[in-house]
């Protein structure tokens, strides 16, 4: 049975009221929600190796997710796989869009009935990263369910619940000798308790894609 979405603002709360006590919940799958903080280690490799050039592990180095890059140079679709190679979500960029839109679907689907959430830039021109996230049920998109703000260059982006100040995930830069010599971009993301870390991982993939587009623009 499909899991119900969790609204960022329960009844009686909102931008003018107190933030929800536990913003987040199941978005992709309940197995990716933990009652404790989860630290994701992200490695962006300059050269593609066995597990691909974008891998996400836990703090012990166990593979959690990897990204299947598009074939034949098609840059509008990526698939987030679990450690066993099963599709978790499919990310598709809408090629004709004023604010650069990405749609994220359950598993390997791109059908609208499997739409989990949509991401778009908050504005056309940005000096720092600002993304708005709308869950699948939020059709009118008058108020976002999550926000991403910060500096991707410094790997200091933060994910907030709705328009509140409630943080659901936070990014940190990691500097290692290995990253310098092997051409790897290492950073970590702390996912707060009861927040779907597969959802956060897919947001990181979109952030990476936005950054690559900005560099080539």
% the chain with pLDDT above 70 = 67
d(CA 112, CA 147): 22
Q: Show the low-confidence residues of the chain (pLDDT under 50).
A: 1-22, 49-51, 73, 177-183, 215-217
The second-level CATH assignment, the architecture, of 35-214 is Beta Barrel (2.40)
Quick one: pLDDT at residue 68? 81
Quick one: pLDDT at residue 2? 38
Across-strand partners of 134? 118
Quick one: pLDDT at residue 99? 54
Quick one: pLDDT at residue 144? 92
With the C-alpha atoms ordered 68, 84, 101, 115, is the resulting torsion angle positive or negative? positive
Quick one: pLDDT at residue 52? 55
Q: Which of 211, 96, 105, 87 is nearest to 148 (CA)?
A: 211
Quick one: pLDDT at residue 212? 65
Quick one: pLDDT at residue 30? 93
Quick one: pLDDT at residue 132? 92
Residues 83, 64 contacting (CB under 8 angstroms): yes
d(CA 28, CA 2): 10
> What 8-state DSSP symbol labels residue 71?
G
Quick one: pLDDT at residue 44? 72
d(CA 156, CA 47): 24
pTM of the model: 0.79
Token output for 2: 């499909």
Longest dimension (CA), the chain: 52
Quick one: pLDDT at residue 7? 34
């Amino acid at each position: 049975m499909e899991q119900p979405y969790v609204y960022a603002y329960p009844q009686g709360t909102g931008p003018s009221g107190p933030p929800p006590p536990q913003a987040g919940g199941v978005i992709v799958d309940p197995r990716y929600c933990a009652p404790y903080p989860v630290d994701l280690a992200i490695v962006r490799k300059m050269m593609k190796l066995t597990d691909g050039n974008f891998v996400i592990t836990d703090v012990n180095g166990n593979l959690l997710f990897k990204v299947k890059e598009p074939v034949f140079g098609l840059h509008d679709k990526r698939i987030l796989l679990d450690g066993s190679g099963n599709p978790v979500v499919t990310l598709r960029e809408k090629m004709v869009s004023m604010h650069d839109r990405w749609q994220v679907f359950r598993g390997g689907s791109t059908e609208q009935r499997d739409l989990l959430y949509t991401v778009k830039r908050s504005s056309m021109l940005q000096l720092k990263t600002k993304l708005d996230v709308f869950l699948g049920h939020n059709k009118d998109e008058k108020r976002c369910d999550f926000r991403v703000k910060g500096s991707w260059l410094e790997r200091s982006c933060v994910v907030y619940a709705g328009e509140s100040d409630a943080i659901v995930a936070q990014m940190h830069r990691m500097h290692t000798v290995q990253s310098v010599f092997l051409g790897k971009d290492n950073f970590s993301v702390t996912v707060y308790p009861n927040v779907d870390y597969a959802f956060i991982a897919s947001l990181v993939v979109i952030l990476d894609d936005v950054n690559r587009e900005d560099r080539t623009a």
